[in-house]
């Protein structure tokens, strides 16, 4: 029954069991350049592999360069023609994000696609080196700064080569479970009242609010750059590493009922490459299908407030 449901196709023609290879079959990505964050494992590593398979020049942003080099080596074994680089990027550190962008700019490449995928989940209370709660710092703020620093290059590339730029933000349906007020602006770095599940939900809600607000701003500026967010599904990866018990279940019994990375990367690669979503912006996708957002994620004022708050934190 479960596997039948997973094969039921939605309006895009794809289903929860479609793989990233299937949803990009026949698409020629040569001539495009993409940055993928969190590329050293899970959904990010599979996304890099499939983009490289489609001819995209991939720049992997990884916080552990030797793990990144191993993933790169595996990809090159499977795709000998792959154009793929590894650059160090720790999203919990604003100075690391700035260094990554300097190093990327030194490569003198254009930029068509930015995939904000890296994430940490359910971490115990920790402050980043910038004094910001770790899940908010890594999942939202580091990506907010990264996007801000790369946006001009994405806009210029889109203008120069006439192909729309795409920003793809990997969120999670956990956005439905943040703190009561959505984003705890006044207590973002407070240990008191910290709840690792709500803090993850808050950071994933922030991903969607960022996506929606950026999409609106780019539309107002008439830029040829789309921005969409997504839930990859429940996927067997290392994401539950801070929850040893759940991680154990996921990688044993779980792998028979949840997605593998081949399926987990499908919506990411679909939004990055598929012609069906040309011009589509400001939407949230699940299983390659745009779905309605709930509660705080629809709050335009909250999105604007988060934008201003994030700008104040990165300066």
Ligand X SMILES: NC(=O)c1ccc[n+]([C@@H]2O[C@H](COP(=O)([O-])OP(=O)(O)OC[C@H]3O[C@@H](n4cnc5c(N)ncnc54)[C@H](OP(=O)(O)O)[C@@H]3O)[C@@H](O)[C@H]2O)c1
- Residue 123 DSSP label: P
DSSP for 187-238, please give it.
GTT-STT--HHHHHHHHHHHHHHHHHHHHHHHHHTT-SEEEEEEE--SB-SS
165 binds ligand X, rule: CB under 6 A: no
90 binds ligand X, rule: CB under 6 A: yes
238 binds ligand X, rule: CB under 6 A: yes
Of 170, 227, 269, 273, the residue at the interface with ligand X (CB under 6 A) is 170
121 binds ligand X, rule: CB under 6 A: yes
Rounded CA gap, 282 and 298, in Å?
11
Minimum CB separation of residue 26 from ligand X in Å reads 26
Q: Which CB, 56 or 121, lies closer to ligand X? A: 121
Q: Which CB, 29 or 232, lies closer to ligand X? A: 232
Of 157, 172, 211, 263, the residue at the interface with ligand X (CB under 6 A) is 172
Q: Which residue is nearest to ligand X (CB)?
A: 42
| Ranges within 144-163 binding ligand X (CB under 6 A) | none
Rounded CA gap, 207 and 230, in Å?
9
234 binds ligand X, rule: CB under 6 A: yes
Q: Which CB, 86 or 225, lies closer to ligand X? A: 86
Minimum CB separation of residue 34 from ligand X in Å reads 16
Pairing of the two strands 165-170 and 113-116: parallel
**In 3-state terms, what secondary structure has residue 54?**
coil
Q: Which of 113, 130, 123, 127 is nearest to 37 (CA)?
A: 113
Pairing of the two strands 113-116 and 33-37: parallel
Minimum CB separation of residue 256 from ligand X in Å reads 15
Backbone phi and psi for residue 110, each to the nearest 5 degrees, phi listed first: -75, 180
**Residue length, the chain?**
315
Dihedral of alpha carbons 131, 135, 138, 142, sign: negative
211 binds ligand X, rule: CB under 6 A: no
Residue corresponding to tokens 């360069």 = 65
Minimum CB separation of residue 72 from ligand X in Å reads 13
Rounded CA gap, 177 and 17, in Å?
25
Q: Which CB, 61 or 165, lies closer to ligand X? A: 61
Catalytic residue among 175, 179, 194, 198: 194
| Ranges within 36-55 binding ligand X (CB under 6 A) | 38, 40-44
**Cβ distance 202 to 190 under 8 Å?**
no
**Is 175 an active-site residue?**
no
Minimum CB separation of residue 313 from ligand X in Å reads 16
Of 232, 277, 283, 296, the residue at the interface with ligand X (CB under 6 A) is 232
Beta strands in 38-189 (DSSP E): 57-62, 84-88, 113-116, 165-170
Q: Which CB, 36 or 225, lies closer to ligand X? A: 36
17 binds ligand X, rule: CB under 6 A: no
Just list the catalytic residues.
Answer: 194
| Residues at the site binding ligand X, with contacts judged by CB under 6 A | 38, 40-44, 63-64, 67, 89-92, 117-121, 138, 170, 172, 231-232, 234-235, 237-239
């Amino acid at each position: 029954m479960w596997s039948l449901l997973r094969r039921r196709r939605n309006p895009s023609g794809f289903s929860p069991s479609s793989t990233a290879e299937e949803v990009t079959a026949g698409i020629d990505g040569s001539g495009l350049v993409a940055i993928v964050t969190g590329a050293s494992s899970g959904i990010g590593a599979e996304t890099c592999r499939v983009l490289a398979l489609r001819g995209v020049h991939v720049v992997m942003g990884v916080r552990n360069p030797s793990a990144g080099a191993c993933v790169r080596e595996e990809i090159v074994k499977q795709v000998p023609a792959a154009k793929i680089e590894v650059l160090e990027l720790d999203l919990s550190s604003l100075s690391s994000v700035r260094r990554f962008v300097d190093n990327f700019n030194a490569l003198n490449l254009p930029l068509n696609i930015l995939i904000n995928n890296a994430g940490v989940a359910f971490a115990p209370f920790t402050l980043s080196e910038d004094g910001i709660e770790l899940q908010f710092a890594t999942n939202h703020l580091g990506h907010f700064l990264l996007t801000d620093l790369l946006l001009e290059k994405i806009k210029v590339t889109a203008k120069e080569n006439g192909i729309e730029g795409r920003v793809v933000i990997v969120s999670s349906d956990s956005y439905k479970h943040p703190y009561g007020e959505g984003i705890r602006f006044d207590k973002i770095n407070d240990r008191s009242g910290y709840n690792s599940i709500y803090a993850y939900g808050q950071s994933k809600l922030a991903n969607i609010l960022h996506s929606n607000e950026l999409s609106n701003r780019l539309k107002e500026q008439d830029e040829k750059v789309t921005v969409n967010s997504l839930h990859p599904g429940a996927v067997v990866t290392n994401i539950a590493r801070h929850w040893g018990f759940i991680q154990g279940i996921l990688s044993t019994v779980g792998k028979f009922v949840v997605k593998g990375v081949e399926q987990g990367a499908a919506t990411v690669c679909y939004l990055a490459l598929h012609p069906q979503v040309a011009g589509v912006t400001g939407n949230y996708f699940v299983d390659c299908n745009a779905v309605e957002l709930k509660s705080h994620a629809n709050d335009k004022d909250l999105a604007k407030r988060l934008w201003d708050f994030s700008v104040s934190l990165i300066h």
